[in-house]
Structure 1
Amino acid sequence: MAGTFILRARTGRAFHLRRGATLRITNTFGSQVVDTWAFKADDIAEFMSMEHTRVHSSTASPVKGTIFRSNRRSPMLDFVEDTSPGVHDWFFAACDQSRYEMLGSEAAHDNCSDNLKQAMREIGHSITHVPCPLNLFENAPLLAGDTAIHPPVSRPGDFVAFTALADLIICLSACPQDMADTNGTGREPRDVDVEVT
């Protein structure tokens, strides 16, 4: 895939990213968290793993220069550019229906876990396990001893970019969280811009 698209608020999308291609995600309004997954295109049992990436990283959080690795420790994505203040999360699980029920929702609620499963189904893959995502722009300073999620510090137009180090399937979810400050104090999920070159 090459080109641009708008990832609509509350939705997910999966697409192929060839080795050597660059993925750029722009936080159009500055406040939107984007859950991000990667799977090997020829074997989705191999997926980007935050646990395995952290073991091989020299930083406490994802930064430009981080090589994201798979559950088999092979390199998948190179974090090549970040114009934001650099606050991203690689510890928190994706939101799911149970999370929203715990927050008081009595009805079905859009969530990143279901967005991942649906997006993967749409391109012909059925998955049951939801790996821990890379939560772009999420402000969750766990290593500072704070277990809360705070509003993002990214600004409108800030972007991150990654280079694919293998043939991948990428899945992105514009987090639907509207019951906490994950997507800003206005609690309004927003669109983001995505470009593949």
Structure 2
Amino acid sequence: MSTETRFDHARIDRLPRSNSEPCGHNRTLETPISADGTPILGERYEVAARSGRAVRLKAGQTLRIINTHGTQVCDTWAFSTDNLNEFMSWEHGRAWISGLIPRVGDPLMSNRRRPIMTLTADTSPGIHDTLMAACDLFRYMTLGVEGYHDNCADNLRLAVKAIGIDAPEVPQPLNLWMNIPVNGQMKVDWCPPVSRPGDYVELRAEMDCVVAMSACPQDIIPINGEACSPVEVHFEVHD
């Protein structure tokens, strides 16, 4: 059956038209790290399995995101505090680094072609993804899911709503630890992460920004490990 024949067009038309509005609800909205997303420096926070959280960073602060179990993909976004319409953009970022995966030292560019963050550390093998859109309810509909399924796009929307702001859209995320190899025929595959328990990346804020993270809820294809079982990740903020 083709993807097109699996779409329930009437159902899609009943869902929110605004990219700021979630298509459903989960615990993300009720569990911000603080009322406005300001962290306690050095405290370790959890992004629960299938959920999202948002954090406010000041320029110069470093966010450490930890793949606690080694198997979990974490979709990651950054928005300028001063202008939410400026955000980490991988259409622009791939052009700047002339590559598909950022390496330590690479700037992570905004849609205004200036660094919003910099990748300053990565203890993993360095396999991440900048090609695949965040999973959303429409993606799960094409995979045969009926009813609501947690998804990264809604986790972003709910995580920033939980701290009092609306995401203007769902940009292409930095899919930390997501393993999407590209072969010589320019085809891609969907493979389990090659990261290890406790691997982390560090991202330094180059401007005041809001960062949202989603512990990807994908449980149909093995991007969160062969068991297809989403788990939690953790993060910390340091000066």
The TM-score by the shorter chain falls in which range?
Answer: over 0.9
Residue 148 of structure 1 pairs with residue 184 of structure 2: no
Amino acid at match of 1:164: A
TM-score, normalised to structure 2, is: 0.80
1:59 is aligned to: 99
TM-score, normalised to structure 1, is: 0.96
SS in 2 for 1:15: strand
For 2:67 and 2:183, the matched residues in 1 are separated by 24
Contact 1:140-1:146 within 8 A present in 2 as well: no
Contact 1:60-1:143 within 8 A present in 2 as well: no
2:119 is aligned to: 79
1:189 aligns with one of 227, 230, 236? 230
SS in 2 for 1:171: strand
1:42 aligns with one of 64, 82, 94? 82
Residue 104 of structure 1 pairs with residue 144 of structure 2: yes
1:137 is aligned to: 177
In the TM superposition, residue 143 of structure 1 has moved relative to its aligned partner by 5.8
For 1:91 and 1:59, the matched residues in 2 are separated by 11
Give the percent of matched residue pairs that are identical in Structure 1 and Structure 2.
48
For 2:64 and 2:154, the matched residues in 1 are separated by 23
For 2:160 and 2:52, the matched residues in 1 are separated by 9
Structure 2: give runs of 5+ residues left out of the alignment.
1-38
CA RMSD of superposed structures (Å): 1.2
Which stretch shifts more, 51-60 or 104-113?
51-60
Q: Which has the higher contact order (CA 8 A, sep 6+)?
A: 1
In the TM superposition, residue 125 of structure 1 has moved relative to its aligned partner by 1.4
2:158 aligns with one of 113, 118, 124? 118
For 1:146 and 1:157, the matched residues in 2 are separated by 30
Amino acid at match of 2:198: G
Structure 1: give runs of 5+ residues left out of the alignment.
none
Larger radius of gyration: 2
Specify which structure has the higher proportion of strand: 1
